[in-house]
Structure 1
Amino acid sequence: MNKEKTNQASANAQEDKENQNIGQENEECLTEEIDPVDHLQRLREEIEEHKSKAEDYYAQMQRLKAEFDNFRKRTQKEKEDTARYASERVIQSLLPVLDNFERAIASSRKNKDFEALSQGVEMIERMFVKVLEDEGLKIIETVGQEFDPNLHEALLKEESDQPENMILEELQKGYYLKDKVIRPSRVKVSG
């Protein structure tokens, strides 16, 4: 029991010492005088500093918003211009074909040489096809091919010694633009 009292007394002494240290710290804090005017001035300066930062951030946000709006408007205009003038390059490449048609017509009025006119028209057709091929146009193969409803439109069916659903005749050419069918071939198939 004596030992317990000694331990208890030792613990109480330690606690008193800690409380005394805390009390001294509190007294030191209380003895330091805080000038309310200085404290208020410091708080006002902090408020002004934060207000200035907030104004800078707001101005930066406004500039970014304006830049984004300008970017959006510029992009929209470019998109509209692209749509409006998308065919410009193709049209420019077709102008020589048009020029040759005009020359052929003018020549046919002066000369009645239909052989020369026929050759001129064939040359213009080759020129025209070349322009279209350069743009990605390809002819869909037909005669001798098996009918494919994705590529061909059967207008006629005819009995034949060919296997069923083979294309016998092309009635109108079909075309791909790059890898997309833009017009199916119209064909006659074996039945």
Structure 2
Amino acid sequence: MDLQAKLADTEHRLAEMSDAYLRAKAEVENIRRRAEEDVAKARKFAVEGFADAMLPVMDSMEAAIGRPDATVEQVLEGVHATRRQLAAALERNKVLEINPTAGTKFDPHQHQAISVVPADQEANTVVTVLQKGYSIYDRVLRPALVTVAAPK
């Protein structure tokens, strides 16, 4: 094979490799663009499931407002039913209560101590819960507000 033929063969292989490189580069760019679009859609519609779970709660509240002649007992019954709907919607979306009982060991990752009070129980345990906390997928959204037993 003479030098001219080798040069032509090398130029042909270079053109093929250059074409393959450009195709691979374009494919990577398309994948990146599609991934960016998917992430944008995921961010945009991330709360869609949660919003869908909240609609029955909204319907119940609007139904209650639409009944100005309701008795106190009916209103209270409706509030309890609406609260159950809300709790179920939160639970379906993995929003769970943090509601420690008295005597539970104080956990600074889930509880926020408002005060330390003298109590007839072990030190650094929850005495009272002032406000429930909530977590989502093991991540604390809001810690439970508690009072804690003082060391003796």
TM-score w.r.t. the length of structure 2 is 0.87
CA change 1:51–1:115 in 2 (3 A) is same
Equivalent position of 1:89 in the other structure: 49
Percent identity, aligned pairs only?
Answer: 29
Alignment map for 1:33-182 (pairs within 5 Å): 42-107=2-67, 109=68, 111-144=69-102, 145-182=104-141
Unpaired runs of 5+ in structure 2? none
Q: Deviations over 1:97-146 (max 9, x none)?
A: 11111111112x2x131211111111111111111111212222323212
What is the rounded CA distance, in whole Å, between the counterparts of 1:103 and 1:135 in structure 2?
A: 24
> 3-state DSSP class of the match of 1:169?
strand
Shift of 1:60: 1.3
What is the rounded CA distance, in whole Å, between the counterparts of 1:54 and 1:166 in structure 2?
A: 74
Shift of 1:67: 0.9
> 3-state DSSP class of the match of 1:86?
coil
Q: Which has the higher helix share?
A: 1
Paired positions, count: 149
Shift of 1:82: 1.0
Shift of 1:158: 2.9
Shift of 1:95: 1.2
> 3-state DSSP class of the match of 1:163?
coil
> 3-state DSSP class of the match of 1:70?
helix
Unpaired runs of 5+ in structure 1? 1-38
Equivalent position of 1:184 in the other structure: 143
Q: Which has the higher strand share?
A: 2
Shift of 1:58: 0.7
What is the rounded CA distance, in whole Å, between the counterparts of 1:163 and 1:54 in structure 2?
A: 79
What is the rounded CA distance, in whole Å, between the counterparts of 2:123 and 2:7 in structure 1?
A: 90
